[in-house]
Structure formats: structure tokens, C-alpha cells
Chains A and B, each alone.
Chain A
Amino acid sequence: MVDLVKDWRNDIYAVFKDLDITMVSHVPDAGHTPLINLCEKDNEIDVVTLTTEQDGVGLSCGAYAGGKRSALLMQSSGVGNCINALALPNICRIPFLTVVSMRGEWGEFVPWQVPMGLGTPKVLEAMDIKVFRADYEEEVGSTVDAAARFAFNTNRSAAVLLSQKMIGAKQFKNG
């Protein structure tokens, strides 16, 4: 367990530790980077870098079949890549947890992020995923905790959307 200062990423990490989540897969996103770094420093957490987000769904289900809990970290743009893969935890009643950093919704600079940002909650709900959202730093820990317990206690899929309002929208500069 790494010593923590007050930061919402640390709150997510604390939930992972509390609920024995020992595998974290991701296609990286800047919003998740401090959390990924925390997990990489922890010898008890197996961090898997994916080439595409949907592989994190299968990976997570296989790990659970082997008795290991995991979480998939991704950006909202990755949610669309996962849709058919999400049939696997659904039909096999395997708990599945993902934490999604939102783009394309609050002060976004890049128009290409908007379609999947708008679509993210809709497509997750269309696939029967229970969607949780955290808009403020102080509710991140309790929201991820609630989503993880929902997933692992009821053998269902849960997603936490981390609001771009909270993460902050990067403003790009040319040159």
C-alpha cells in the first residue's frame, strides 16, 4: 500500500485495495495517469497495457474466472470499442467494472471527442451496464466503491463516468 495524499485518484486506488482488485488494465488516458502510476508502484496489482479497450473486457472476465478481481480504465472514446465484448460479462454473469474518464462534454477543445463523449452513457446503458457518475472530487471514492460493490455483489457490469468538469479540459495550443 502506497502512502496517499488527498486526491480523487488516490480514492479510487484505495477502493481497489479495499475490494481486493488486483488487476488493472487500461488504454491510457491523461486523466487516469496518476492512478495508473499508483497501481504500477503496487506489487500486488498487475497492470496490463492494452492495445484496444475491448480486450480489457475479455481479460477482466478471464481473470475473474480464475479468481482475480480487476478493473478496466479507459477514456470515453474507448467505450465504443467495447460494445460487443460487453456481451461476455453480461451473458456469463461475471462482475465487470470500468472507470471511464470523460471527454467531449465540458469545455472540450477537440471536436473529434464529442460524438463518443455524447454517446458514452447511452451505449453503456444500451448494453445493460449500470452507469454511475462522479462530477465532484469528493464523491469519486464513494461512487467507485458503490459501483464496484454493485458489480461484485450482484455479478453485473458497472461503469463509473468521471466528469470532464472534474478532470479538467485540456486546451491545446498550436505551435
Chain B
Amino acid sequence: MIDRRPFVQKILKNRKDNLRVVSGIGTSTWDLMSAGDNIGNFGFIGAMGQSIPFALGLATAQPNLRILLFTGDGDTLMSLGSLATIANHPVSNLTVIVLDNESYVETGSQPTATAGKSDLELIAKGSGFDNCYTVKSEDDYDKIINTVYNEEGPSLIVIKCEAKATPLVFPHSFDGAISMNRFMSSIKT
């Protein structure tokens, strides 16, 4: 099991200029913000289930950027149909990393479906993702970096990680408009 926060920080260390990062509701946003403030980050703090379709829209509109979404198993399970939408509307520049701790940690660590019989890699495969795999060790760091920056997407990586509460690290603003305007200023349109 991987300790998610330092691993997210490691993935984002030395990030390249062409990377934009989105995070889904919950711990993923605090993880992303813990890696340091960057105008090329946008973190969801609500609208559960919407980060995956948001990332698809962004990746489609900005084919010359690499788009990385960090989100959780809870957020992903709410929007499983969006995996089929992505697979059938391929975008080569999108990587979805699911930080799968098999629980709704923020609400009291109730188990999610992935704590039971459900497997998000298999669901992604069945949805039509050609490039998807599960990571259980930090030894796969180089493989992940290669997927994020170089491989033909869309890609989905399930990172199995510990279910533990971590300190909240707030974004630049909780106000969506302020955060969104700031994020958009990092994108030339």
C-alpha cells in the first residue's frame, strides 16, 4: 500500500510546463495542494462525480497540453459512465490517476465498492480504455511519469493506497470563480 500524499508530491516534483493538473473532490484536492501552489492546478471541492468529465473537456479543448487528473475511488465510482464516454471519444493527452484507498475517508472511512468486489482497472478496461493498470508499489514511479507525459492516452492508473486521514491543505481560494480564473490564466486560448 502506498502513502498517497508523498507519492502525489513525488509525481508532481519537477513537473513540466505543459502539464495541467485537476483534482477531484475530497482528499485528492488536499493532496494536490500539498505539492505546492501552482496556477496550473484546479481542485474540486464539490460537484462530486464531475472531475472526470471536466478533465475530458479540458483535454479535448487543449490537445497540446498534458492533462492529469488525480481523483479518488469515491468520485470515480459516482461517474463510471464517464469512463465509457472517454474511451469512445479518445483524447491522447489525458491521464486519470485514481487514488484508491477503498474508503470514503473524509466522511468516516466507510468502505467503497473497491473494498469489496469492484475493480476500477477492470471497469476501465471494460469501458474501453486500452491503457490502464494498477500500481501497488512506488517502484512504478517511472512508468507513471512516462504515462503522464509521453504515452498515447487516454490512460487510467489505479494507485492502491492506504486509507488514512491526512491534514487538509487548502487551495488558493475556496471560491470557485477565483480558482477557475486563476487556473484559466495558465492556459493560452
Contacts and interface: CB of A to CB of B under 8 A. Distances in A.
A148 interface: no
A66 B53 CA distance: 13
B50 A66 contact: no
A115 to B, nearest CB: 23
A28 interface: no
Interface in B39-61: 42, 44, 46-61
A58 B180 contact: no
Interface in A22-70: 23, 46, 48-52, 54-68, 70
From B46, B52, B60, B62, name the one whose CB has the most chain A CB atoms within 10 angstroms. B60
Given A62-B57, A65-B184, A94-B180, A55 B79 contact: yes
Interface residues of A, number: 31
B61 A55 contact: no
Contacts of B61: 23, 62-68
A146 interface: no
A126 interface: no
Contacts of B56: 48, 58-59, 62
Contacts of B77: none
Contact of B84 (A51, A60, A66, A67): A51
Contacts of A19: none
Interface stretch (A1-9, A85-93, A100-108): A85-93
A93 B177 contact: yes
A62 B62 CA distance: 10
B88 interface: yes
Contacts of A171: none
Given A55-B81, A59-B57, A65 B180 contact: yes
Given A48-B89, A51-B84, A65-B184, A60 B177 contact: no
B9 interface: no
Contacts of B189: 66-67
Contacts of A85: 47, 49-50
Interface of B: 22, 42, 44, 46-62, 65, 79, 81-82, 84-85, 88-89, 175-177, 179-181, 183-184, 187, 189
Interface of A: 23, 46, 48-52, 54-68, 70, 84-85, 87-88, 91-94
28 contacts: A23-B57, A48-B85, A50-B81, A51-B85, A55-B81, A55-B85, A58-B51, A59-B53, A61-B50, A61-B57, A62-B54, A62-B59, A62-B60, A62-B61, A63-B58, A65-B54, A66-B59, A66-B60, A84-B47, A85-B47, A88-B44, A88-B50, A91-B175, A91-B176, A91-B177, A92-B176, A92-B177, A94-B180
